[in-house]
Amino acid sequence: MTLPILYAYPDLFGVADNNPFGLKVYAFMRLCDMSFEHRHILDTKQAPRGQLPYLVDGDESIGDSDAIIAYLKQHYGLPIDTGLTRAQQSLDFLLRRTLDDLYWPMSYSRWKDDRYWPLFCNALLATHGELTEGDLAAAREYNALRYHYQGIGRYEPAQVYERGIADLRVVSDALGKRDFLFGDAPRSIDAAIYGFVANIYFYDIDTPLKQFVLSRPHLVRHCEAIHAKVSSSRAFDAA
């Protein structure tokens, strides 16, 4: 039997994917106890729309984290979100859109902000010997253009982090002091929250976003709980 293959960016700081969307799918598949192959890549030429993550399952190739999760739930009959009320489904949707917005301040903190860029760059170089300073300089230039055209690159740094912290505050307030968003067991939205928060909390880079996460013990507890659950599963990691 051929396993589904999840193509995603490389790991960093002990987190399975240094991109929150890829980590979101990875965590979802592990929470569902799926067997799959996890391949770390940088070249996105074969990816649908040229973006990571993407999933190859037999003849199917699916891009976009939400589309991947929707496909997996339907194709494999995964019950992780069974029983959610209409209101809970709506909250799931709204929080996923909030996390989509958080992506930009998070990414900005790594590639654009001169205070944190050297730490991120050096961590990538130290962890992945195949990368070069030239590779990362080119990626930084590319991302600067993305930020400009998206709009976040036209903000002052303090304004960027205000926006990201506002997103994190909404997620934190929605979670409250519960173990997981909708009760005693994690749902797909918990995988999504983990994908983003883990890419802040576990990073040895003290950005304003990390400072906010550290100020919310229940958000840290949620992140650590999901991290523990997804650290032992049947995924097969491949280069």
Element (H, E) at 37: strand 37-40
State whether 93 and 72 are in the same domain.
Answer: no
State whether 56 and 138 are in the same domain.
Answer: no
State whether 95 and 61 are in the same domain.
Answer: no
Tens of pLDDT, residue by residue over 137-188, are 999 999 999 999 999 999 999 999 999 999 999 999 999 999 999 988 999 9
pTM for the model: 0.94
User: Under a CB-based contact definition with an 8 Å cutoff, are residues 164 and 106 in contact?
Assistant: yes
State whether 215 and 127 are in the same domain.
Answer: yes
Tens of pLDDT, residue by residue over 39-52, are 998 877 777 888 88
Q: Tell me the average pLDDT across 217-230.
A: 96
Q: What percent of the chain has pLDDT over 90?
A: 88
State whether 143 and 190 are in the same domain.
Answer: yes
Burial of 163 (0-12, 13-18, 19+ CB in 10 A): middle
State whether 95 and 125 are in the same domain.
Answer: yes
Domain range enclosing 97: 86-230
DSSP 41: -
CATH number, domain containing residue 69: 3.40.30.10
Taking only Cα atoms into account, the Rg of the chain, rounded to an integer number of angstroms, comes to 17
State whether 36 and 114 are in the same domain.
Answer: no
Name the pairing type of β-strands 37-40 and 236-238: parallel
State whether 97 and 204 are in the same domain.
Answer: yes
Handedness of CA 77, 32, 235, 13 (dihedral sign): positive
Tens of pLDDT, residue by residue over 59-117, are 999 999 999 999 999 999 999 999 999 999 999 999 999 999 999 999 999 999 999 99
- How many domains, the chain? 2
Checking if the pLDDT of 239 tops 50, the result is no
State whether 22 and 126 are in the same domain.
Answer: no
CATH number, domain containing residue 96: 1.20.1050.10
State whether 91 and 51 are in the same domain.
Answer: no
Picking from 201, 180, 204, the residue whose alpha carbon sits closest to that of residue 191 is 180
State whether 47 and 149 are in the same domain.
Answer: no
No. of helices (H) and no. of strands (E), the chain? 9, 5
- Token look-up 């909708």 returns 182
Mean pLDDT of the chain: 93
Confidence (pLDDT) at 231: 85
State whether 74 and 99 are in the same domain.
Answer: no
